[in-house]
Amino acid sequence: MGAPHRKGVLRKEMDPEAAAYTSSSTFDREIYEATVYVNIAHLRALEKLGVISRDAADRGVAVLSRMLRERVELPPDVEDIHIYVETLLSKEVPEAGENLALGKSRNDAVVAAIKIRLRERTLQLCRQLADCIQALLEKSVEESATIFPVYTHLQRAAPATYGFILHAYAVRLYKTLPAFRKVLEECEESPLGSAAVAGTTVPLDRQYLAELLGFRKTGVNALESTASREFIIMAMSALLTAAVVLSSIAEEFVLYSSEEFGLVEVQEELAATSSIMPQKRNPVVAEVMRTKAAEVMGLLTSVEQIVCRMPSGYSLDLQQATPKLWSAFQELESSLRLLAKLVKGVSVRRERALYACMPPVAAVELANHLTLKHGIPFRKAHTVAGQVSRLMAERRLSDEALKQVLKEHGVEVGLGVSEVFEIMDPVKTVERYAVEGSANPRHVVKSAQELLGELVKIREWLENESRVFRETLGLLLR
Ligand code: ARG
């Protein structure tokens, strides 16, 4: 396909290998629609300027609308989608096509297209995040009373519930949402009218162009608008933050489903077996999910490296950053769908989980009891509870031994072994957790319900944003 813009200073055709090497046509698939919309808007702006006739603009828009309806594969030898659109339009409606680059460069057009697509994908991702958070919250309510250990330093730390752990992940994912909202804000700024680097003498109506495409404002510096990619870094950082949470919960499922922990069982649909050891039930989905933070981090790092080594105006390096963004979305989208399934299907091995919380796991409760009920200073109570735990672990705790420990520390309270076991009972301990935010089922359920309510509002907002955006673009086709 002949490139219209090569009639510039160059006389020779480009080396085919070099053309393929520098082309973005394979990954421009992602911004195909968005680029077509940008060009439709530009035709209308040129019409408004009086550079092309109403009729040429209408016919041009008709050709471009057809491109939307009948998507074509870009030939690999074409430099990019922008050149493809211009070439096609020049053939069909020369008056429109041959003026398409007036006041518009690929440098501003590509940013506009990326932002339009990024907005769509971010809205979609937020919906998926909401699905995942909802799955976690619903399960956390269901399992709010399922006794389950929590760990610090990967040592049994306290009795809690399975629901409490899922709730923690829900909150962690929920807290990533504002970063995506920030990304959406970045996508509201139109670069159009910036042309290649310094703006243009063509008196384009930037506001009009922006509004046609659903942007809410226009950039304040053409150099920044055309060649900054911090908005991509922001988006990928948000994705990375979510991926970190995903990888972390995946790690937890891998660990807990191992026989050594034996606390949960991953549903068969998301597990695999070994080709040689038929007894194996490998948590392969969780294993792959565990890699996603690393994968997204790699993609983000390469974008940061590309961007930080550039002078301020556009260079083709920037083209190479864009596909990393879409790959990062891809990683997250597939993971979020599977995480929602995992969360719904993983089952708790209740007896083992309860057993893992048995005394002395709640040893601190003995210390708390001595301090709160008997006024023993906490540090001393902690020491006593420590010694009692040791006796328990060694199965040497008797009323006599207990009395001895208390006496050694000058703690004059009447306490028997059965009372100690009652104090450290995991079910009772969890019910006695007194503070908001604790693993007490009442606190978990209350917070989960509040967050579920917030999610309804967030979903409404997302739907509204998507609808307004789709309608705005739809108007361009009339
Ligand atoms: N394909 C390019 C990209 O994705 C479009 C901008 C090319 N600009 C240029 N002057 N060659 O970034």
Burial class (CB in 10 A: 0-12, 13-18, 19+), 402: buried
- What number of other Cβ atoms are within 10 A of residue 2's Cβ? 9
pLDDT score recorded for residue 5: 80
Residue whose token pair is 């790959």? 327
H or E element in which residue 91 lies = helix 81-92
Q: Which amino acid is present at 443?
A: H
25 Cβ below 6 A of ligand 1: no
Q: Which of 4-18, 44-58, 258-272, 307-321 comes out lowest in average pLDDT? A: 4-18
In 329-410, where do the E strands start and end? 347-348
What fold, for 107-134+171-203+214-349? Fumarase C; Chain A, domain 2 (1.20.200)
The pLDDT tens digits for 349-358 are 999 999 999 9
pLDDT score recorded for residue 478: 86
pTM attached to this predicted model: 0.96
Distance 44 CA to ligand 1 centre (A): 23
Report whether pLDDT(1) > 70. Answer: no
220 Cβ below 6 A of ligand 1: no
pLDDT score recorded for residue 2: 62
Higher-confidence residue of 280 and 193: namely: 193
- pLDDT mean over 279-299: 97
The pLDDT tens digits for 425-449 are 999 999 999 999 999 999 999 999 9
Would the CATH topology of 4-102 be identical to that of 107-134+171-203+214-349? Answer: no
CATH of domain 4-102: 1.10.275.10
59 Cβ below 6 A of ligand 1: no
Distance 24 CA to ligand 1 centre (A): 8
Residues in Cβ contact with 191 at an 8 Å cutoff, skipping those fewer than 6 apart: 108, 111, 112, 115, 219, 222, 225, 226
State percent of the chain over pLDDT 70: 100
pLDDT score recorded for residue 76: 83
Distance 453 CA to ligand 1 centre (A): 44
83 Cβ below 6 A of ligand 1: no
Helix, strand, coil proportions of the chain in percent (round to 5)? Answer: 65, 5, 30
Report which protein residue has its CA nearest ligand 1's atom 12: 319
**Which sequence spans correspond to the domains of the chain?**
4-102, 107-134+171-203+214-349, 363-424
